[in-house]
Structure 1
Amino acid sequence: MPEAHLVRGGRHRPASPVAHKVRSCLGRAWLCLLLALVLVPRAHAGVANAPGANLEVSLITYGPGETYWERFGHDAIEVRDTVSGEAYNFNYGVFDFDERGFLLNFARGRMHYLMDAAPATLDEDWYIQAGRSVTRQRLDFTPAQAAALRDFLLWNLRPENARYDYDYYVDNCTTRVRDALDRALGGVLQAQLTARPGGMTYRQQTVRLMSAQPWLMLLLDLGLGPYADQPLDAWQESFLPAVLARELSTARVAGPQGMHPLVTGTELVSPNRLETPPATPPDLRLPLALAGLAAAAVLLLARRFWPSGFALLGSFYLLFAGLAGIGLLILWLLTTHHAAWANANLLLFNPLALALLPSAWRARRRLPASRLADAVLLLQLFALLAAVLLHLLPGTVQQNQPWLLFAMPVWLALAWGMRARHSL
């Protein structure tokens, strides 16, 4: 889920100066050009051909931005030749709007991302100008490890190797950076981080970081299934740039004098000038519970004093519930968004709600629901009961209490209003 760079025909502002540079290129010509610049032998040593003893490896972490796709932050691996001063930032956050079937693939969860590289100052200057923090953590790599990381990154940059299948939580811009560092270090990062418990779940981190856009935060929370609530270790939670930076600061590696910190120095290249996300996720239970109670009260009052209003408001909710249910089913059955599979919110919002629309308008004339509507309402009430019991059962994973608290009073008010034969 961390931020992606938009390149080659992207309709939004690019997230990197590299995007400006490559927008007019065709196909993967920009990668070929970059390889030519990096790999062709030069008269002086540089990142591509410097000995490992001259290479300095750093993790560059960029703070969250203002736009929703920037809220998760970003990061890159900086490889610097300390003799020539040449430095490149390697990152895994490029996608292409012009890719054939991009929007369909995005909807189906089959997103293709690319690796990218740019001169370090060019890449970092853009984030500084945008007001986002830039932090450099120098890492204690041996010459052999630094050379191995450099060689892997250059291999990964080749056009035939640069593309990968993106996953929000387990294979994204930051996990690729993490894995490249761990590969060069011989697996010590994974060994240490998997032994530590994580601080939050995927859901909690997502809600926390998206809280500046409440409508999108609620949409994502509604669409996430039990996968997003599983306990995480520090390795899994380091899908976020800030978490990876934090975990690296406590990692240790072996040396001639024994174990020592992996991070040898941290430099705040540029401070954050934007509003930062909260440290903890907002608790959605009380707001959504109050919203549900308010909606139920309005429906009951409208049923008595304004039947047409009851029909309008009830129809609005039923449309929302039905369309939301269709969306949840599509995410589960027709996409590879595994974080949305088996979503218990389908018990609260499902396509059957659309079958109740005629009954909402029958209530306008103070007529009771039809037999079909009675059956659907009864089924929906059983679904509500199942949702409550499922949540109370030991071992339940999905944390959907906010939506349960919202939907229950509304459904009860609708059921009462549509079945009442006389005014309340």
Structure 2
Amino acid sequence: MTFLRTIGLALCITLWWLLPALPARASVANAPAANLEIALITYGPGETYWERFGHDALQVRDTVSGESVNFNYGEFDFDQENFFLNFARGRMNYMMGAALSDIDESYYIETGRSITRQRLALDAAQAGALRDFLLWNLRPENSHYGYDYYVDNCATRVRDALNQALGGALKAQLAARPGGMTYRQQTLRLMSNQPALMLVLDLGLGPYADHPLTLWQESFIPMVLQRAVENVRVDDGKGGSQPLVSDSRIVSANRLDTPPPSAPDLRWPLALAGLSIAMGMLLAQRFWPMGFTLLGMVYVLAAGFVGLVLLVLWTLTAHHSAWANANLLLFNPLAWLLLPALWRARRGVRPSRFIDGVIAVQMLAGVIAVLLHLLPGVVQQNQPWLLFALPIWLVLAWRLRRPG
């Protein structure tokens, strides 16, 4: 939490506590519902990895006094006890925060991130109910929640609060429309400016990330929610309907590189990488047997480590988007059993029957991975990793079965 946002939150809380003693001073906390104006504030992606998915807030403004407060659900603290351990376990503790709008938005303007303000056509009762809920949610005993990057984050909390104020109208309309991308595709698209981290995330995501989404589900991305509400219609109080967004304007233009409109296709880059490693092993086997041994040992060490991490994510953490990861068939700790055989292969020593069995099991796992991917219906989209790993495993199997 930045210093400015901390000061803004302290000012808001202090003001609300002092309101009963200052009846002549109107504010968003005690203003008549008819004086309230509600807006959805969307902040574009930042440069740091945890800022790549964007951010949003609900703005409550007293049109008489001019006071404006932004409420958001994206506060976290690296200094909280066991933060990184809890993050690894998938048990992330986030909190709701609030700040005067000018203070809150100054950080995003300073860092070059876009700010879009969409004024929403809520009637007085809806605006008052939303304001009261946000103030209740801001209390220390209510402000913390268990964060999930896909189903319970800063955007879904804003979306759900708005949907509650609208009596379910938002969900009814967005859930009836298909989304444009899956969780995986949105993740790769937004993380594409950091290729190494993007590859790690793609490798770690299981089949959960590949299910088709409704627009309601895909609005876990603030920018998707921003576009989605433009097409939502609500009751106009006269027997008809009106657009939910009554006015939209860019408060601050983006000065950073924008994410691409679609996810990068990783199949060709990873296929070429896998073929290059496999060809390097073949050439080393012919001209430099020790080089083959070194390349092979590095690969099986890495494959075993990746498999161990994937197994831990599935069995010991709450990261449900990483469960049942089919990449475990390609990368698993069984690979470590090949290390002694690879070391002996530099001298042309044939592996034992046990190692032959390990190789057979690994090749069978590769075949199963391909067959699983060919099954009808929703399957894990791990073609890039199939194309990467299979050529390397084929070369390792061929060389270890035919040393010398």
Matches within 5 A, 1:168-183: 168-183=149-164
Amino acid at match of 1:37: L
Determine the structure 1 residue equivalent to 2:116. Answer: 135
Determine the structure 1 residue equivalent to 2:243. Answer: 261
Task: Give the alignment partner of residue 4 of structure 2, picking from 17, 25, 30.
Answer: 17
Show CA shifts across 1:147-192 (max 9, x none).
Answer: 1000000000000000000011000111000001111111100000
SS of structure 2 residue aligned to 1:160: coil
Amino acid at match of 1:181: L
Distance 1:34 1:50 in 2: 14
Matches within 5 A, 1:201-216: 201-216=182-197
Number of residue pairs matched?
400
- Could you list the runs of 4 or more consecutive aligned residues of structure 1 that deviate by over 3 angstroms after TM superposition? none
Distance 2:82 2:278 in 1: 43
Q: Which moved more, 1:137-146 or 1:96-105?
A: 96-105
Matches within 5 A, 1:289-304: 289-304=271-286
Show CA shifts across 1:25-64 (max 9, x none).
Answer: xxxxx76x74332243232211000011110000000000
- Residue 89 of structure 2 is aligned to residue 108 of structure 1: yes
Instruction: Indicate conservation of the 8 Å contact 1:47/1:88, yes or no.
Output: yes
SS of structure 1 residue aligned to 2:30: coil
- Residue 308 of structure 2 is aligned to residue 326 of structure 1: yes
Amino acid at match of 2:62: D
- Residue 335 of structure 2 is aligned to residue 347 of structure 1: no
Q: 1:131 to 1:339 in 2, by over 3 A?
A: same
- Residue 252 of structure 2 is aligned to residue 274 of structure 1: no
Distance 1:224 1:17 in 2: 36
Task: Give the alignment partner of residue 287 of structure 1, picking from 246, 269, 272.
Answer: 269
- Residue 17 of structure 2 is aligned to residue 35 of structure 1: no
Instruction: Indicate conservation of the 8 Å contact 1:39/1:48, yes or no.
Output: no
Task: Give the alignment partner of residue 348 of structure 2, picking from 359, 366, 369.
Answer: 366
Instruction: Indicate conservation of the 8 Å contact 2:210/2:378, yes or no.
Output: no
Q: Which moved more, 1:182-191 or 1:41-50?
A: 41-50
Instruction: Indicate conservation of the 8 Å contact 2:274/2:387, yes or no.
Output: yes
Distance 2:65 2:384 in 1: 56
Question: How many angstroms does 1:372 deviate by?
Answer: 2.0
Question: How many angstroms does 1:17 deviate by?
Answer: 3.0
Determine the structure 2 residue equivalent to 1:57. Answer: 38
Question: How many angstroms does 1:396 deviate by?
Answer: 4.0
Instruction: Indicate conservation of the 8 Å contact 1:77/1:90, yes or no.
Output: yes
Q: Which moved more, 1:277-286 or 1:41-50?
A: 41-50
- Unmatched 5+ stretches in structure 1: 1-6, 8-13, 23-29
SS of structure 2 residue aligned to 1:211: coil
Show CA shifts across 1:238-263 (max 9, x none).
Answer: 00000000000110001134111000
Determine the structure 2 residue equivalent to 1:71. Answer: 52
Distance 1:421 1:206 in 2: 43
SS of structure 2 residue aligned to 1:37: helix
Distance 2:348 2:119 in 1: 72
Amino acid at match of 1:197: P
Distance 2:253 2:340 in 1: 57
Show CA shifts across 1:270-323 (max 9, x none).
Answer: 110100000000001111111111111101111111111111111111011000
SS of structure 1 residue aligned to 2:318: coil
Distance 2:367 2:4 in 1: 53
Amino acid at match of 1:36: T
Task: Give the alignment partner of residue 229 of structure 1, picking from 184, 196, 210.
Answer: 210
Task: Give the alignment partner of residue 335 of structure 1, picking from 317, 320, 324.
Answer: 317
Task: Give the alignment partner of residue 356 of structure 1, picking from 288, 313, 338.
Answer: 338
Determine the structure 2 residue equivalent to 1:27. Answer: none
SS of structure 2 residue aligned to 1:260: strand
SS of structure 1 residue aligned to 2:105: helix
Q: TM-score, normalised by structure 1?
A: 0.92
Distance 2:25 2:213 in 1: 46
Distance 1:36 1:128 in 2: 26
Determine the structure 2 residue equivalent to 1:45. Answer: 26
Question: How many angstroms does 1:370 deviate by?
Answer: 2.4
Question: How many angstroms does 1:102 deviate by?
Answer: 1.5
Question: How many angstroms does 1:362 deviate by?
Answer: 1.1
Distance 1:350 1:184 in 2: 48
Percent identity between the two aligned chains? 65
- Residue 388 of structure 2 is aligned to residue 406 of structure 1: yes
SS of structure 2 residue aligned to 1:77: strand
Distance 1:200 1:412 in 2: 34
Determine the structure 2 residue equivalent to 1:196. Answer: 177
Determine the structure 2 residue equivalent to 1:26. Answer: none
Determine the structure 1 residue equivalent to 2:365. Answer: 383
Amino acid at match of 1:163: H
Q: Which moved more, 1:138-147 or 1:38-47?
A: 38-47
Instruction: Indicate conservation of the 8 Å contact 1:102/1:111, yes or no.
Output: yes
Q: TM-score, normalised by structure 2?
A: 0.97
Amino acid at match of 1:418: L
Show CA shifts across 1:205-236 (max 9, x none).
Answer: 00000000000000000000000000100000
SS of structure 1 residue aligned to 2:142: helix
Distance 1:100 1:374 in 2: 48
Distance 1:322 1:396 in 2: 27
Instruction: Indicate conservation of the 8 Å contact 1:52/1:146, yes or no.
Output: yes
SS of structure 2 residue aligned to 1:369: coil
